[in-house]
Structure formats: C-alpha cells, structure tokens
Amino acid sequence: MPTHRHDDRPTIVYIVSGTVTEHNSFCKVPVVYHAGDVSTEFGPGYEHWWENTGTEPVTFISTDVLPYDSDAPPFVGFEP
C-alpha cells in the first residue's frame, strides 16, 4: 500500500491472513501484523505504508470512519 496519511479520518484494519509490516511516522521500528491482528490508524501527522513481509498474499478488511456531515439525523428510519 503506498504512503498515505490519516489526519482527517481514522481507520481500523483487521488482518485476515498473511503477515504485513507497517512503517509509520509514529514508531521508530516497523510494526509486524499477523492474521487476527487489528491496526488502528489515526492522528495528525500519522503517515504510513505497508509491506508484505510474509510468504503468502495478505488479506485484510479496512474501514475508514468518516465524519457525519449532514443536517439530517443519523440512522433515519431506525427505531430502537
């Protein structure tokens, strides 16, 4: 994954399979993730990139948490 930032949106990543190494601006040494691990990515100045350092393809599920920017109430039509 190319170098990118998370100044404006936090992200949660779940590693499904494989081994991936994250190089980021907050850590002096790379962080290694394996299947079952979770990475949280956020904050001003947080810049990083990932490298597949394992022997198999890496599969992950990633979701960005975007700000709610609307005059309408969230969960329209949702009744608890």
- pLDDT tens figures, 29-64: 999 999 999 998 888 888 888 999 999 999 999 988
Q: What is the pLDDT of residue 43?
A: 82
Residue 18: CB atoms within 10 Å = 17
**pTM of the full structure:** 0.75
Residue 6: CB atoms within 10 Å = 19
Residue 7 confidence (pLDDT) above 90? no
| CATH superfamily of domain region 4-64 | Jelly Rolls (2.60.120.10)
Instruction: Over range 15-30, report the average pLDDT.
Output: 92
Top-confidence residue, 11 or 77: 11
Closest CA to 62 of 5, 14, 10: 14
